[in-house]
Structure formats: structure tokens, C-alpha cells
Amino acid sequence: MFPLLDVTEQPDARARGVAHGLSARTQVAHSIATYARLFAACGITWVEAAQRAQRYLPVIAALDPALVDELHGIAEGSGQSFDAILALNCRTEILPSSYLDNASPDLAGHARAAQAANRAAGLQDWSECTAMCVAPEASADGQTWFAQNWDWIGRQRAALVILKTVDAASRRITTLTEAGMLAKIGLNDAGFALGLNIVRSTTDGERPGVPVHALLRHLLSCATLAEVRVRLQAIAALGFGAASNIPCADASGDIACFEVAPAGWAELKPTRGTVVHTNHFVCEALLPQQAPVGTAVSSAPRLATAASHAAQARIGMPELQAFLRDESDGYLSICRSPNPDWPIESRMESVAGIVINPRTRQMWIAPDVPSRVAFVEVR
């Protein structure tokens, strides 16, 4: 299982960040090496990435100043610069909108120059996700369920941590995230769960907006989807830095996916008690914002396969595990193994599988490609 970082007893946001950084110094350094290489493959040096991240600092401060304090703490505890930690938390916004199209990253030309600049600076060299939410009326046991595979670069599995923290109102939050980042897939003590599917829009990164990882942490303070809707409406005034889909489920049985983009946000409501999502816009209002999606992302085929799982008569823990272990489409499956023929910068795999029961406040994680390992409950 991934390392467990429990910072809930720390007195304030900065202290929680320091504890996070101290406990995960090795994993934070691994994250920085991963993203330095990934940005370089897109022609962006690590120095340039840190500069781009600075644009988002005022927006994070406007969203929640305590998150800035926590980022400073992570930098202090990990021994990394604040700029580096900020860049990690803005990685979605820094990556170009073309990242998931058919043009795989390569090391020719400006990309090779960016990697050389990173090496000169002393840095090491070295699409994601299918989700389903199930309402009580569609479940086998009358429970609410959340399930997601987190598909990302396989080497980044070594940087994953389970972070247990609290917000300013003492709400307890458990999130599977990358070391140095505020949050990713998570559950709080009110019985609210959320996840993340990357989506690319044509206007990603054009102007500063709330970075998605700060948004996820902020929303993990919500008790219900009704509260999420209110907060998204307010946050829209600040703007969203890049596109994403946020699948959500709460203890009352309310489920939905919330697509966000610099152009705004929209809600995908459940059909017959389930909602599924992959890596492209589904809500009509945001369809014009869609950036090109490459065939290697397999977003539309995976959505069709996910919909077939969602159409089952009754869905419970066994069905959700089978969903997350579906390898019916080979290297482009819901349960994704790495294709050795692809460049390392685009060699996606399911780094973990997650199942959450919001009503019972339980979370299970498969800490590898889900077909290879058991789902283990997080205590």
C-alpha cells in the first residue's frame, strides 16, 4: 500500500504542510523529477514551468489563503523551493492543451533543448482515468458508491501517498494524491467523495484560474453535492485554470459529474442511477471547448465500455471491482497496462484503483494495476 501521511494533529495549515513534506521528502523529489521530464517533453523547462505556476498563486490565495500556507509548509518540510511545489500543484494547467492529442511527446528540437536545460539545472532525468458513481437505486445494497481507476505515468506510482488531513473547520479528509500536491481522489468525514478525469479544452492555461488540484482540496470541505454546486457557482467568478471532470458522490445518495473549463462548468446528471465519465466533454454546453483527443487516450471507447458496466441491474463492490479490472480493450482498456512500444512520457497505465462507499465512509485502494492486486481498505 502507498505510504500513509497523517497530519490531522498539526495545529494549522502550514504545520500540516511541513509534516507532509517531512514525511514524503523522497516522494516529493520523485514527483519533481517526473514532471520536469514531462514538461520538457512538451518543450517547457522546469524553470519555465515554475514561472507559469506563479500566475496561479493569486487565484489560489483568493480561493483559500490557508492552501497557500500549506504549500509553503510542504516546501519547507520537503526541502524544495516554494516555486517547485506550486508547479506540482499547477501541473494540469501548465501542460499544453495538445498533451492528449495524437502527437505523442518526443525529445526532438525544443523538447530536447528543454530537457538539456533541466539537466544543466541539476534536475534528474528519468491521460488518465475512468470513473463511475452509483446511486442507491442502482446499487445492489442500497448504498452509494464511487469507483475510479487513476491512469497516469507508471513511474509516478512511486510518488503516491495517502494523505489524512483536516481543513480549517476541522473536517477530516483522506485523499490519494501525489506527494507535494494538495489533493486528488478523496473522501471526507461527512461522507462526500470526489475524483478526477483529465479533460483538455482549447483555452486551457490561457489565463489564470483556480488550478484543479487546489479546487479538489477546496471541494473536499463540502458535505454534499448541493454544497458543491453552490461553491462551483461562486468559484466561476475566479475562473478555472484548465479543464477537468470531477465525479462526485455523497452519503445522501446524490451523484453527478461536474465538468469544469476556463469557459465555465456544467453538470452531468445520472441516468437510471449511474453516471460514468472518461476524458472528453459530455455536457453539451462545453462540447465546443473540446481540444483534440488522440486515439491512444481511447476516451470514447472506454466510455462505451464503462456504460455497459453501469447498465447492470444491480451494482455493488464485486461489480465495481470487475469494472475497474476490465481489460477487454487491451492496452486501451479501463484497466490499463503500459504499452512498451510508446514513449515513456505517454506510457499510461492504471497506477491505482479506488472504490469508496460514502455512506459508510470506507475507501479501498488497489495500489497497482487493479487486475494484479487486491483492493485493500484504508484505515
Distance (Å, whole) CA 15 – CA 107: 40
192-194 and 244-250 strand pairing: antiparallel
Q: Which helix (H) or strand (E) holds 349?
A: strand 348-357
SS3 236: coil
State phi, psi for 166 to the nearest 5 degrees. -135, 155
Q: What is the dihedral of CA 238, 245, 49, 164, to 10 degrees?
A: 90
**Within its chain, how far is the Cα of 60 from the centroid?**
17
Contact 243/200 with Cβ under 8 angstroms? Answer: yes
The ranges of the chain with pLDDT < 50 are: 102-107, 118-119, 122-126
136: left (phi over 0), alpha (psi -120 to 50) or beta: alpha
Q: pLDDT at position 340, please?
A: 86
State phi, psi for 174 to the nearest 5 degrees. -120, 125
Q: pLDDT at position 341, please?
A: 84
SS3 367: coil
Q: What are the chain's domains? A: 10-120 (no CATH), 130-377 (3.60.60.10)
How far CA 57 is from CA of 69, 82, 238, 323, 326, in Å, comes to 11, 11, 12, 38, 40
In the structure grid, which three cell numbers stand for residue 348, read together?
A: 499510461
In the structure grid, which three cell numbers stand for residue 124, read together?
A: 534528474
Q: pLDDT at position 128, please?
A: 59
Q: What is the dihedral of CA 345, 349, 354, 355, to 10 degrees?
A: 140
Distance (Å, whole) CA 339 – CA 337: 7
The string of pLDDT tens digits covering residues 270-288 is 999 999 999 999 999 999 9
Place of cell 509534516: 19
Q: pLDDT at position 117, please?
A: 55
Distance (Å, whole) CA 117 – CA 94: 17
Of 55, 65, 117, 131, nearest to 86 by C-alpha is 55
Distance (Å, whole) CA 63 – CA 70: 13
Of 375, 287, 256, nearest to 324 by C-alpha is 375
Distance (Å, whole) CA 259 – CA 66: 25
Max CA separation in the chain (angstroms): 58
In the structure grid, which three cell numbers stand for residue 377, read together?
A: 481498505
In the structure grid, which three cell numbers stand for residue 350, read together?
A: 492504471
Of 150, 131, 128, nearest to 274 by C-alpha is 131
